[in-house]
């Protein structure tokens, strides 16, 4: 029998995808900008007048987490900062954190540090 080398999700270190631009508004909320540069994106832009980018506005919780992603902090460390900042509002902490990072990874906003 062989065992796969499984890493604990909370030990993973997220890295922001440099292909996505982002900024903060005056309230400290983050907006991530996705540029659409693929072949089919260009066709949609020409034919259907689709914009060349999408803007994703994060809420206060998502913005806080996004700003903690520095390439050094683990998911667990970010979760603890989130709990410290939001207290009871952060609960249920780990299911929320895991789901949020799963979405970020699926949408290619982040990758995991090797």
What pLDDT is stored for residue 6 in this prediction?
61
Q: Is the pLDDT of residue 1 over 50?
A: no
Q: Are 11 and 64 a contacting pair, CB within 8 Å? A: no
Give this prediction's pTM. Answer: 0.82
Q: What is the pLDDT of residues 32-54, one digit of tens each?
A: 988 766 676 677 666 777 766 68
Structural domain spans, the chain: 20-109
CA distances from 32 to 27, 56, 93, 94, 104 (A): 15, 5, 23, 23, 11
What pLDDT is stored for residue 36 in this prediction?
65
Q: What is the pLDDT of residues 49-77, one digit of tens each?
A: 776 668 899 999 999 999 999 999 999 99
Q: CA-based Rg of the chain, rounded to a whole angstrom?
A: 17
What pLDDT is stored for residue 94 in this prediction?
94
């Amino acid at each position: 029998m062989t065992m796969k080398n499984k890493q604990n999700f909370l030990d993973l270190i997220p890295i922001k995808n440099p292909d996505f631009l982002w900024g903060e508004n005056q309230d400290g909320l983050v907006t991530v900008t996705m540029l659409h540069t693929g072949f089919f994106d260009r066709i949609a832009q020409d034919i259907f007048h689709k914009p060349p980018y999408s803007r994703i506005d994060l809420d206060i919780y998502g913005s806080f987490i996004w700003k903690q992603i520095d390439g050094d902090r683990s998911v667990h460390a970010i979760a603890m900062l989130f709990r410290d900042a939001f207290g009871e509002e952060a609960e249920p902490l780990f299911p929320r954190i895991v789901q949020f990072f799963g979405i970020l990874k699926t949408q290619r906003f982040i990758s995991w540090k090797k």
